[in-house]
Amino acid sequence: MTTTLRTDQSHLSRIAVQMTSGGRGILAADESIKTMSARLEGEGIAASATSRRDYRELLLTAAGLSESVSGIILCDETFGQQLADGRDFPTAASQLGILPGIKVDTGTKPLPGQACALITEGLDGLGDRLASYAERGAAFAKWRAVFDVNTVTPYGARANGHALARYAALCQDHGIVPIVEPEVLCNGDHDLAASERASRMALGSLFDELDQAGVDLTGIVLKPNFVTPGLDATPVAATTVAATTFNVLRATVPAAVPGIAFLSGGHRTADVCAFLHELHEIPDRPWDVTFSFGRALVSAALHTWAGSPANVRAAQDVLLANCAEAASAAR
């Protein structure tokens, strides 16, 4: 495929700012077919391309979603599907005032020689895929690296940071803003210090690699975890989470990055909104902070829907309430 590469940095910066400023955030609706199917089946809904489409249409068409949501991350399947009215998802999102984004990594595999560490794949052919997504309206993309506090190593952090940096540079070549997501998992019973160490390692390596790859930091969005104890450990106050997260980010993330949009990581909606609110209150922050939550926004809506057309409106109300709560934490 031939393509005209765009390198208009002001375009990238404008989109990155639009995604993360003004108290709006990003809805992560990019579960892979496998994950989405398992979540549907977990609610007693038969998984199929149609039920996955119906569910994503319910999310996107919730009335007034764009008041709190600036962008929606889709997976390849949804990106190529149509709403009931025949519009494709990226077109409908744009018409609704929501930037369409696309998850372009192809998932994780074991990283050889590194015990249980993972490497995210998807670089082969990525340039051609990005050209196609750009033509079809993608404003931004997403790539997620996954780290476990118990298995992260400097080499694993560097290898994943390198892949994220190559992805980010390719996105920018195609006029697409890269969301770079180095997720340190919250699963487990580790303490706050363990999450802090792993997050520093992942972020430090990532920004070294982004620098060496020549990525324009003003045209990216960072999607990190909040630095918290594991989900099975004794929780700490939201103010502590915010202060610890801020210290890690301040030490690793250059001020040139316009916006940071956090993942929710399996935490409860109220908890991640409290973390975000406390972080937003910290003075002299160099970057905008907002949300790019998946489960914290959609889990209750999926449960309310339960696959029944009669429940669509109620499910949308649940989604809108969660998005409004997250947005108010970022204002």
* Residue 28 found at the interface with ligand 5MM (CB under 6 A): yes
CB of 6 or CB of 300, closer to ligand 5MM: 300
Segment near ligand 5MM (CB under 6 A); pick from 12-20, 42-50, 91-99, 290-298: 290-298
To the nearest whole angstrom, how small is the minimum distance from the Cβ of residue 101 to ligand 5MM? 10
* Residue 293 found at the interface with ligand 5MM (CB under 6 A): yes
| Residue 226 amino acid letter | F
Total residues at the site for ligand 5MM (CB under 6 A)?
A: 14
Phi then psi dihedrals of residue 197, to 5 deg: -60, -45
To the nearest whole angstrom, how small is the minimum distance from the Cβ of residue 5 to ligand 5MM? 27
* Residue 263 found at the interface with ligand 5MM (CB under 6 A): yes
* Residue 195 found at the interface with ligand 5MM (CB under 6 A): no
To the nearest whole angstrom, how small is the minimum distance from the Cβ of residue 32 to ligand 5MM? 4
* Residue 144 found at the interface with ligand 5MM (CB under 6 A): yes
Pair of tokens at residue 86: 């025949």
Q: Say which residue the tokens 């079809």 belong to.
A: 136
* Residue 31 found at the interface with ligand 5MM (CB under 6 A): yes
CB of 257 or CB of 296, closer to ligand 5MM: 296
Segment near ligand 5MM (CB under 6 A); pick from 3-11, 25-33, 124-132, 275-283: 25-33
Does 223 qualify as catalytic in the annotation? Answer: yes
H, E, C per residue of the chain: CCCCCECCHHHHHHHHHHHHCCCCEEEEECCCHHHHHHHHHHCCCCCCHHHHHHHHHHHHCCCCHHHCEEEEEECHHHHCCECCCCCEHHHHHHHCCCEEEEECCCCEEECCCCCCCEEECCCCCHHHHHHHHHHCCCCEEEEEEEECCCCCCHHHHHHHHHHHHHHHHHHHHECCEEEEEEEECCCCCCCHHHHHHHHHHHHHHHHHHHHHCCCCHHHCEECCCCCCCCCCCCCCCHHHHHHHHHHHHHHHCCCCCCEEEECCCCCCHHHHHHHHHHHHHCCCCCCEEEECCCHHHHHHHHHHHCCCHHHHHHHHHHHHHHHHHHHHHCC
CB of 6 or CB of 324, closer to ligand 5MM: 324
Does 142 qualify as catalytic in the annotation? Answer: no
Among 7, 8, 9, 35, binds ligand 5MM (CB under 6 A): 35
Q: Which of 196, 223, 278, 325 is catalytic?
A: 223
To the nearest whole angstrom, how small is the minimum distance from the Cβ of residue 292 to ligand 5MM? 7
Q: Label residue 5 left, alpha or beta by phi (over 0 means left) and psi (-120 to 50 means alpha).
A: beta
Segment near ligand 5MM (CB under 6 A); pick from 24-32, 125-133, 226-234, 314-322: 24-32
To the nearest whole angstrom, how small is the minimum distance from the Cβ of residue 172 to ligand 5MM? 20
Q: Which of 31, 103, 142, 181 is catalytic?
A: 181
Q: Which residues bind ligand 5MM (CB under 6 A)?
A: 28, 30-32, 35, 144, 183, 263-265, 293-296
Kindly list the catalytic residues. 181, 223
